[in-house]
Amino acid sequence: MSFPKNTLICVLLVLSGFAVWLYNGRVSIHANKYGEDFLLFLIGALATSIATGLVSIKLPHTRLFEFVGKNTLFMLGTHSALMSIINNLFHDYFVKYPWFYLVQAVAVYLILTPVAFAANRLIPWANGNPTSRKSALTKVFKFISIGVAGFV
């Protein structure tokens, strides 16, 4: 039985990343904890990142991936504030049930998805779409956001 070269490399990278995770211990980038050895953390992170890249190259082009790709910066820029709000509202659940962090991750994505759709319609220039600067509503939102940014 022979595997394609990329598949074999991908499997080896995932297995090496998993072995490093088992040996190196718990990693929490948010808490600035990288396991027992930082070099092992880097090796594991690099191996699994390359494996993820190899898998993503083989995936077909879909509207979901296009949406995520176009809105990645928006999601990265807003998820932290939303997570903070959820943490404050449901603090007891996070202490009592560690799996609640998974619920939080799904909830943040589900909340930010319609917000991203609205942002793409109302302020498309914020997402890098220079051809849609004509709308009067877009100009109003741009004026407001520039004014708010000037005060922050």
Nearest of 128, 85, 120 to residue 104 by alpha carbon: 85
Nearest of 56, 44, 59 to residue 14 by alpha carbon: 44
Contact 71, 116 (CB under 8 A): yes
pTM: 0.55
Q: What angle do CA 35, 7, 2 make, to 5 degrees?
A: 130
Q: What is the pLDDT of residues 24-41, one digit of tens each?
A: 888 877 788 888 889 999
Q: What is the pLDDT of residue 42?
A: 92
Q: What is the pLDDT of residue 46?
A: 92
Q: What is the pLDDT of residues 47-63, one digit of tens each?
A: 999 998 888 888 888 88
